[in-house]
Amino acid sequence: MKGVPILIAVALLVTSTSYGQQPQPPPQNGQQPNGAPPSDSPIEPRPRDVPPGGRASTPAQNVVAVPVPVAPPRPNGPIQKSLVRITATEVAPDYRAPWNAGMLGRGVGAGFVIEGNRIMTNAHVVSNSRYLTVERDGDPNKYQAKVLFVAHDCDLALITVDSPNFYKNMLALKFGGIPELESTVSAYGYPIGGERMSVTTGIVSRIDFQLYTHSSIDQHLAIQISAQINPGNSGGPVMQNAKVVGVAFQGYSGDVAQGVAYMVPTPVINRFLKDVSDGRYDGYVDLGITYGKLQNPAQRKFLGLKDDDRGVLVETVVAAGPCAKILQPGDVLLSIDNHPIASDGNVELEGERVEMPEVVERKFKRDNVKFDIWRDKQSTSGSVQLDTVPPYLMQSHKYDVRPRYVLYGGLLFQPLSLDLLEAYQPTDLRLRHFFDFYVIDQIYREHPDVIVLTNILPDPINTYLAPYRGGIVDSINGKKIHTMDELSQTLAEPADRLVIDLIGDGPPLVLDPKQVEGARERIKMRYNVVREQNLQELPTAKAPDLQTKI
Amino acid sequence: MRSLFISVVFALVVTAGAAMKKEAASPPPNKDVKQKPLSLVRVNVTGQPYDYFRPWQKKAPVSKRALGAVLSKGRVLVTADLVTNQNYVELERAESGEKTAANVEVIDYEANLALLEPSEKNFLDGIAPLDIAGDTVVGDRLAAWQLEPTGALVATEGLVTTIQMTKYPVDVGQFLTYRISIPMQYRENSYTIPLVKNNKLAGLLLRYDPRSQLIDAIPAPIITHFLKEAEGENYRGFPGVGFSFFPTRDPQLRKYAGQTGKPGGVYITNVEPNMPAMKAGMQVGDIVLAVGNHEIDQNGNYVDPLYGKIDFTNLISAHSYAGDVLPFQIQREGKPMELKVTLEHRDAKDYVSPPYALDEAPKYLVLGGLIFQELSRQYLKEWGPNWQREAPQRFVYLDRFQSELFPGEHRRIVILSQVLPANNTIGYDEFSYLTVLKVNGQEIKSLNDLAAAVKQPIEGGFIKIETEEDPKQIELEAKSIDAEAPNLQENYGIPSLQRLD
């Protein structure tokens, strides 16, 4: 089940420095309807104390001499033989100049060796990376690494090193289960504060569903721990009794809340490992419905339900989701895969009461799920093959792909997305509405791409067009435009003039194709535009050679 | 298009007595002024706005002290803001402290003006009324009149820097405004401040930004319009035409519209159904070249004899009255035409989501604990100055794009605003801010529709409410609602479960 995209202020845990005069992305604060105080934003992982172009260094004013402690017992064994330090050189796409390669940055995170000569880390440590190196304790060499699998929806990745020497003397870590509340765990990684491995300990504070801020739309189980984790801990193992019980991945920045850190727990890790076992990551599947509790006696009576605290009400069925074939609003779901659904939406799974979507969380693409349904006071049932629900991707962060855009006559057209909103920070009410209600109001059916005139590169041919900025394309020369491909094709068709209607009651935008053609080279030269359009979200980096033994 | 832009609005200072400190060096009293009797009275107002979150009650009373400008025929001019939602208005003579109650005779919320009359007819005797100075131009100096606690006049001079069209507080259309640069200090009773030129009333304070020391003032031409209209039997309000327009600076747009001849005029982007422009036959795509005898340039300005270039909507709002027939010279696909537009005032009630609702009790209906109301901008403004960001986003969207979403419809949007936990609303108590589509199968286009529909339960004695948002459907049992009603009223202190008029 996808969460409402409320961005709680959570910092991604990777240190990173930008080179030279790279422009900093603007502070992100667009989607914080709950009034969370501004903080280190989820997309801006650069620590504040780092001088531009420099390495992270210990802030001198905070260094206080402390007595050297007696070496503590090491219940988790020689972690140095499993832990690695990952340095990623990344290029983040620039949605304001999408023809450019983007902003260069560097991040440091942690990872650990698991069976099969693989290294597990966070997706956000290796996202948008162009060059990855891995270092291990007591070895002066830097080994080049490559990404095997990356799962942006649960912030996990597997990477590997080709050099045969690398895995010599390395120990693959084993995974444990869900640690008990209040039990002690230790987090290992390379956080700011020094160069070498760091250990922090804490207890398990809470086990609950959380928003994973890397995609900023997915919610999965996460475990809150009181161990201090900081930028650089990302991807590092959290251990208990010599077994990995989680991967450190996100937390609040210090000005929001202290001592609140989260790790990806082993059920999520195991699901990821199982998903990639066929050589491909398919990702989480979703029912594509919303449902509500059925606790009101009058409503139960109206629906002809017994007073047995069972069933949830289907409210919205997303047409692009897998359930559209068998469910309709007003249906009552009585059971899922023969697990009875309580009227508050819980099911019992392996002796634990969990929310109904947990049944789907554990499944994979093309798995089936079966419902017992109560419709029009009749009992029925149905089964669907699970799949992803593509429209949700519009509201999530994207990585490792080039942004789509079309530049025509200096007018930059881009599809609406979370990344686009964060890049431009528009305040336009219509844009916000199209974004917020894209899935739930099924806007994607008419506008698979919500095409926004995001920017205008000034030129004599478009000098009067500035007021049209921020508009959403409705039609061109009377023809409705649904996708970026259609936009590109329609703009290329010969016409005496182009009349672009934007949604709303504004005036049409009128262009003379001959003038546009005449200005093409001039605009490309003046604004250093390498390519005038990109219609596919192609990977930005070369896909890894999967021949390697995994 | 012009109507869609949010103009930057100056901070509206409403706290009376923000700066009560006496200045060390008061300006020397002006001899001319001292000799004449003051044409000002103090106005004391106790107001009590309705509480849209608890629509059956009013908020705590607020008191304001202000100044009123004494006009001829024993009337006192103040801003509408001051006396909106008033329970009691009192006039006080500055020199003697003598008081009398007053009535609001005429009020125009859009132009932000109101006329008061003392209940004692002779109360204003001996006070010389102010005439109106309608000829203020950029570069004139105006004096802001305030009173010391002693009753002495404090006059602060400022320079008129700009005369332009701006939005007034209730946000309906644009009106002429003077902007004055003035180093004014607030006195305890400076809510409504008259601006005076040669002892004549030139304007009334609309808003003041103490940081930049800029005043926006309601100018004399708007006051004159208001007073003239107030003389009539029924006050009708300022006229409108009901279209949106866009400048024709872009030669491509002019060519598209088929415009021939010299550049100029505005492109019509929207014509509202049932409004004067549509009744006169105006169409989207027309280019309005002139209104009356005034040519309009490609930015939408005409040349005013007093102000020079200024937005042509001033010709409609300030220069014309409802019922006037105004000739519009237009060009449609290159052909010149004349449209005779009979101007009308558009009442707030004629909108789908009324832009304001003041001095009137909000409608509501409480059904078993579900609170139903009609969407209005007044309701949205309960979220405070940032209501456009903070109020429920679907409601803000419906309000903002109402003419696009419900063209020509006479209806309201009924919302389920909150749920009071009660026996009937078990499991529903987390619902809020839902848009109601149907009740018992009947489409709901007003709260009265809803009140009628709930009286006809569907089979089994249920009331079924369908909403745009999740949960999509809510059911109640009719007989249990009636049985629980007294408890609900008792527990939540609701004197009446509905107010429908």
pLDDT in tens, A425-458: 998 999 999 999 999 999 999 999 999 999 999 9
CB atoms within 10 A of CB B212: 10
Identify the domain containing residue A89 by its residue range: 11-23+36-48+77-278
Q: Assess whether A257 and A200 both reside in one domain.
A: yes
Which chain B residues are within 8 Å of A303, Cβ to Cβ? Answer: 475
Whole-number pLDDT of residue A78 = 84
Flag if A301 and B471 touch (Cβ within 8 Å): no
Whole-number pLDDT of residue B37 = 59
Q: Assess whether A368 and A267 both reside in one domain.
A: no
**Is 80 exceeded by the pLDDT of residue B475?**
yes
Q: Does A180 touch chain B (CB under 8 A)?
A: no
Which chain A residues are within 8 Å of B475, Cβ to Cβ? Answer: 296, 298-299, 301-303
Strands (E), A243-341: 243-251, 261-265, 289-293, 312-317, 332-336, 339-340
State the smallest CA–CA distance between residue B490 and chain A in angstroms: 22
CATH 2.30.42.10 domain residues, chain B: 243-342
State the smallest CA–CA distance between residue B475 and chain A in angstroms: 5
CATH number of the structural domain spanning residue A293: 2.30.42.10
Q: Assess whether A262 and A343 both reside in one domain.
A: no
Which chain A residues are within 8 Å of B254, Cβ to Cβ? Answer: none
Of B249, B256, B476, nearest to A510 by CB-CB distance is B256
Flag if A499 and B256 touch (Cβ within 8 Å): yes
Which chain A residues are within 8 Å of B4, Cβ to Cβ? Answer: 504, 506
**What sign has the CA pseudo-torsion A360, A362, A363, A369?**
negative
Q: Does A254 touch chain B (CB under 8 A)?
A: no
The DSSP symbol for A73 reads: P
Q: Assess whether A270 and A305 both reside in one domain.
A: no
Which chain A residues are within 8 Å of B424, Cβ to Cβ? Answer: 298
Whole-number pLDDT of residue B204 = 95
CATH 3.20.190.20 domain residues, chain B: 352-499
* Closest Cα in chain A to B428: A296
Q: Assess whether A125 and A259 both reside in one domain.
A: yes
Of B246, B396, B426, nearest to A506 by CB-CB distance is B246
CA distance B400 to B406: 11
CA distance B288 to B329: 6
Q: Assess whether A271 and A314 both reside in one domain.
A: no
The verdict on domain B352-499 having CATH code 3.90.1170.50 is no
First and final CA of chain A: distance in angstroms?
31
Express as a percent the part of chain B with pLDDT over 70.
92
Flag if A429 and B388 touch (Cβ within 8 Å): yes
CA geometry: angle A133, A134, A138, nearest 5 deg: 135
Whole-number pLDDT of residue B262 = 86
Q: How confident is the model at residue B251 (pLDDT cuts 50, 70, 90)?
A: very high
CA distance A535 to A451: 12
Q: Total structural domains in chain A? A: 3
Q: Assess whether A376 and A417 both reside in one domain.
A: no
Flag if B394 and A433 touch (Cβ within 8 Å): yes
Q: Put residue B408 in one of left, alpha, beta given phi > 0 → left and psi -120 to 50 → alpha.
A: left
Strands (E), B149-212: 153-167, 174-181, 194-197, 200-209
CB atoms within 10 A of CB A36: 15
Cis bond leading into B210, ω under 30°?
no
pLDDT (average), residues B161-184: 93
Residues of chain A with pLDDT under 50: 1-62, 69, 543-550
Q: Does A258 touch chain B (CB under 8 A)?
A: no
Whole-number pLDDT of residue A66 = 55
Question: Does residue A224 lie in a domain region?
Answer: yes
State the smallest CA–CA distance between residue B197 and chain A in angstroms: 39
Give pTM, 2 decimals.
0.86
Closest CA to B380 of B372, B391, B370, B369: B391
Question: Does residue A458 lie in a domain region?
Answer: yes
CATH topology of domain B2-231: Thrombin, subunit H (2.40.10)
Burial class (CB in 10 A: 0-12, 13-18, 19+), A355: middle
Whole-number pLDDT of residue A403 = 95
Flag if A430 and B397 touch (Cβ within 8 Å): yes
CA distance A177 to A175: 7
| DSSP code per residue over B301-316 | EEEETTTEEEETHHHH
Q: How confident is the model at residue B189 (pLDDT cuts 50, 70, 90)?
A: low
Whole-number pLDDT of residue A43 = 35
Flag if A330 and B473 touch (Cβ within 8 Å): yes
Q: Assess whether A142 and A201 both reside in one domain.
A: yes
Which residue matches tokens 């369908």?
A: B466
* Closest Cα in chain B to A304: B460
Strands B308-311, B141-147: pairing kind:
unpaired
Q: Assess whether A239 and A263 both reside in one domain.
A: yes
Contact B445, B385 (CB under 8 A): no
**Is 60 exceeded by the pLDDT of residue B254?**
yes
Which chain B residues are within 8 Å of A32, Cβ to Cβ? Answer: none
Chain length of chain A: 550
The DSSP symbol for A444 reads: G
Q: Assess whether A107 and A237 both reside in one domain.
A: yes
Looking at every residue in chain B, the average pLDDT score rounds to 90
CATH 2.40.10.120 domain residues, chain B: 2-231
**Is 90 exceeded by the pLDDT of residue B451?**
yes
Contact A190, A198 (CB under 8 A): yes
- A366 token code pair: 């093309």
Find residue A378's DSSP bridge partners.
Answer: A375
CA distance A350 to A225: 24
Q: How confident is the model at residue B184 (pLDDT cuts 50, 70, 90)?
A: confident
Q: Does A19 touch chain B (CB under 8 A)?
A: no
**Is 60 exceeded by the pLDDT of residue B14?**
no
Whole-number pLDDT of residue B455 = 96
CA distance B332 to B342: 20
* Closest Cα in chain B to A295: B427
CB atoms within 10 A of CB A460: 11
Question: Does residue A186 lie in a domain region?
Answer: yes
- B448 token code pair: 């009265």
Question: Does residue A313 lie in a domain region?
Answer: yes
Element (H, E) at A540: none
Whole-number pLDDT of residue A329 = 96
CA distances from A454 to A91, A407, A409, A459, A476 (A): 22, 10, 13, 16, 17
Which are the catalytic amino acids of A? Answer: 124, 234
Burial class (CB in 10 A: 0-12, 13-18, 19+), B479: exposed
Element (H, E) at A173: none
pLDDT (average), residues B79-88: 94
Question: Does residue A377 lie in a domain region?
Answer: yes
Q: Assess whether A298 and A430 both reside in one domain.
A: no
Strands (E), B405-444: 414-419, 434-439, 442-443
Whole-number pLDDT of residue A36 = 36
| Contacting residues for A78 by C-beta, under 8 A, at least 6 apart | A171
The verdict on domain B243-342 having CATH code 3.40.50.300 is no
Element (H, E) at B216: strand B214-219
CA distance A275 to B371: 48
Whole-number pLDDT of residue B104 = 96
| Contacting residues for B328 by C-beta, under 8 A, at least 6 apart | B280, B282, B288, B290, B291, B338, B339, B340, B341
Pairs across A and B, CB distance < 8 A: 99
Question: Does residue A202 lie in a domain region?
Answer: yes
User: Torsion angle, CA of A62/A67/A71/A75, rounded to 10 degrees?
Assistant: -40
CA distance A374 to A487: 44
Q: Assess whether A230 and A90 both reside in one domain.
A: yes
Whole-number pLDDT of residue A482 = 97
* Closest Cα in chain A to B286: A507
**Is 70 exceeded by the pLDDT of residue B427?**
yes
